[in-house]
Amino acid sequence: MTDTPAANPTDPFDPDAINAAQGLDPVDPAYAQVLRIATALNLIPIAIGASVFDALLIRHIEGPYGLITAAAWLIAIIVIATFPSRRVSRWGYRIGEGQLRVARGWLFRTDTIVPFVRVQHIDVGQGPIERWFGLSHLIVHTSGTHNSTVTLPGLHADLAAAMRETIRRHIQTDFA
Amino acid sequence: MSETAATPPAPAVVDDSGWQRLHPATLALAIVRLGPGSLNMLPAIVALGIAGEWVYILPAFGLFVLISLLIAWFRWLRFRFLVGDDEVVIESGVFARQHRTIPFDRIQDVSIEQGLVARALGIAKVGFETGAGGKENDANLNAIALDAAQALRTTIRAHRSGEAAAPAATADAPAAAPDAGDRLLFAMGPRRLLIAGLFNFSLAALAVVGAGMQFFDDLLPFDFNAFNPGDWIDLAEQYGLDQWVIAHRWVAGVGAAISLLFIGFASGIATMFFANWDFRLTREPRTLRRTRGLTTRTDVAVPVKRVQAAILVTGWLRQRFGWHELRLQSLASDGEKERDHQVVPFGRLDEIDPVLDEVGVARPDAGQIWQHSHRIVALGPMIGAACATIGGGIALWLGNEVGWLGLVAAPLIALIAIWATRFHRWADLGEQVAIRRGWWKPKTTLLPHASVQSVDLKTDFLQRPLGLATLVFGVPGGSSLASHEIPAIPLGAAHDLRTRILAARTRR
């Protein structure tokens, strides 16, 4: 336990351990706020819909009014409060020797490596919520049918631009 | 034309002299295409019929044909193309005009396809293979005269090989004699097609015939279903054989079985003959060229440098007789349905090896040591088997005898799944990875390291405790549904293989 603290990447309750054990950098913690707002924008309309359904139909047929509304809002609040930070902590990336490594997920974890020389073109994108927090996402396009785009969200805008320049230099040197 | 030749650097001809139209016989193709198109008329005809206005049906149909022809004619009128010195220009569209320029340098090769009607008219559809993915990016000329199509291909090919910087006009001569570089790699004669057809025994066609017989049972003037042994007894009755047949019921069963077999074999042989008649695979300076087909003749070229992976497919039975099929995964797709190019539909391994040599892929020999995937890959079928057991149990509990089917099938599925895991294997051959899977239809994918664009290393909550990982490779071309993967191998081996593959240099 003392000699290799990060040797147990299968510990489901310590998400940091996965990234540390696999030599990955974490994405910007502010990305959790972006995900939280995006999740809220998705879930709150559903919760409102459930409330309307409850008020119009369940009350009409004299069912247990209020149950669905309460459950919908409770689930929405729990999901919005807890899930985004957990999801963010499982994103990891690494700009290595001529390759970009992006890992995500825990239940189904995918660890993707794209060599810079295989990159066709690069996008740096920024949505309205991301702009609010000064974040960008990097999209790397390859010519493979599987993984034709690899997305890395939650990067500080300057870092994303710097990464794009790094990858772009490699594309140029390969064809020079 | 001489003006063009005098000023070679001019990118396009300014005056209209160089512009060409499609072959007028294309309009005849439009009439043929009306066949399926006239289904759109069906609701209108039904409406007229219901209204009792039968006299209007013929004029209405005539009007429809006229309008369709008019549209086809407008399209033909507004479509023109120009073969310049180093580019093809295509202008199309009746209202929204589209102007497309394709430099010869970007044309990987030219495919020529002829349907039955097109062959009778002496015209062919020309497709330009540019390597840009997606159907909407494929440019084609549908259709021009066959000799013009061949001349066009010769022009572009000559330009590409760089030997003819001369103006395109000189290359308009009839197709030159085959190059010294062209040589036949593989061909299929009628005898080979017959053998291939026998192995192509198709139960799918059987199902169609069976469904058709069910469907038309009431409509047929005679009441006979080849799949119903009772009908065979009725038939025998007419000849006074009924007593004998009822005494020997197995004769009826054998009759039904023979007709089943006959339909299966006949459809297999027929599809093989129609698809692969006069199959020829030739090696040309930079492409593998395949011509085949009885009614629809296709002429497809696979640029050798664009080949990403080779896939060897065989069958449980045909493997015993040494027959295999070779497909090549390329950036371009093969026709409408197939994603991979079938370059050897049915051949011996010693016939396939020269083709593999041409694309720089080696086949693992018999002594190859294979690594196996973990048994966990059987999990999917096991869950299926569990569902079958539960479903069957519920059905029995509800008093339905069919439930036994589920209870019998479940252990069979589970056993076959566990046994079939032995056939999930892989080997690293140094320059390439070989992935084998399947027991009923063994499929070996030979994937050069250099074709791999990205690698996913996937684990999930089941594989992680077992120390396993799945490798998924991003490879250009092929189907997006069937990606190349090595499922459930030890994590350490997966990491090593990933490192080795990513270290490979860009191909050639």
Using one digit for the tens of pLDDT, what is the confidence trace for B70-79?
Answer: 888 888 888 8
Q: Is B487 helix (H, G, I), strand (E, B) or coil?
A: strand
| Nearest residue, CB atoms, B458 vs list A110, A117, A150 | A110
Instruction: Report the C-alpha gap between A116 and A165 in whole angstroms.
Output: 11
Amino acid B88 reads V
DSSP code of B222?
Answer: S
Mutate: best of B329, B454, B456, B484, partner A, most A CBs <10 A: B454
Out of A11-15, A164-168, B234-238, pick the least confident.
Answer: A11-15
Strand B468-474, strand B454-460: pairing: antiparallel
| Nearest residue, CB atoms, A144 vs list B454, B459, B502 | B454
**B109-114 β-sheet, strand order:** B139-145, B123-129, B109-114, B297-303, B287-292, B279-283, B183-188
Contact A142 B453 (CB under 8 A): yes
Give the C-alpha distances (Å, rounded to integers) separating B294 from B122, B276, B277: 15, 7, 5
CB pairs under 8 A between A and B: 74
Instruction: Report the C-alpha gap between B78 and B74 in whole angstroms.
Output: 6
Query: Residues of chain B whose pLDDT is less than 70?
Result: 1-17, 34-41, 131-138, 160-181, 203-247, 332-338, 480, 505-508
pLDDT, residue B482, reads 74
The reply to whether A11 touches chain B by the CB within 8 Å rule is no
Looking at the predicted structure, is the pLDDT value of residue A133 above 60?
yes
Instruction: Report the C-alpha gap between A32 and A39 in whole angstroms.
Output: 10
pLDDT, residue B237, reads 67
Instruction: Report the C-alpha gap between B493 and B482 in whole angstroms.
Output: 23
Amino acid B334 reads D
Furthest C-alpha separation in chain A: 75
Contact B456 A110 (CB under 8 A): yes
Q: Is B399 exposed, middle or buried (0-12, 13-18, 19+ CB in 10 A)?
A: exposed
- Chain B contacts of A99, Cβ < 8 Å? 502
Instruction: Report the C-alpha gap between B480 and B475 in whole angstroms.
Output: 10
Asked if residue B347 lies in contact with residue B191, where contact means CB atoms within 8 angstroms, the answer is no
Query: In which band, very low, low, confident or very high, does the pLDDT at A113 lie, cut at 50, 70 and 90?
Result: very high
The reply to whether A27 touches chain B by the CB within 8 Å rule is no
- Chain A contacts of B475, Cβ < 8 Å? 144-146
Q: What is the pLDDT of residues A64-95, one digit of tens each?
A: 888 889 999 999 999 999 999 888 988 999 98
Query: In which band, very low, low, confident or very high, does the pLDDT at A1 lie, cut at 50, 70 and 90?
Result: very low
By C-alpha distance, the chain A residue nearest B308 is A144
Looking at the predicted structure, is the pLDDT value of residue A99 above 50?
yes
By C-alpha distance, the chain B residue nearest A117 is B506
Q: Is B386 helix (H, G, I), strand (E, B) or coil?
A: helix
- Chain A contacts of B332, Cβ < 8 Å? none
pLDDT, residue B78, reads 86
| Nearest residue, CB atoms, A111 vs list B331, B456, B478 | B456
Instruction: Report the C-alpha gap between B256 and B225 in whole angstroms.
Output: 9
Out of A9-23, A162-176, B236-250, pick the least confident.
Answer: A9-23
The nearest CA of chain A is from the CA of B167 a distance in Å of 31
Contact A111 B460 (CB under 8 A): no
The reply to whether A117 touches chain B by the CB within 8 Å rule is yes
Between residues 416 and 475 of chain B, which touch chain A (CB distance below 8 Å)? 452-461, 464-465, 472-475
Q: Which helix (H) or strand (E) holds B503?
A: helix B491-503
Instruction: Report the C-alpha gap between B400 and B462 in whole angstroms.
Output: 36
> Whole-prediction pTM value?
0.74
Instruction: Report the C-alpha gap between B498 and B485 in whole angstroms.
Output: 12
| Nearest residue, CB atoms, B477 vs list A110, A117, A145 | A145
Asked if residue A9 lies in contact with residue A22, where contact means CB atoms within 8 angstroms, the answer is yes
- Chain A contacts of B453, Cβ < 8 Å? 114, 118, 142-144, 147
pLDDT, residue B75, reads 85
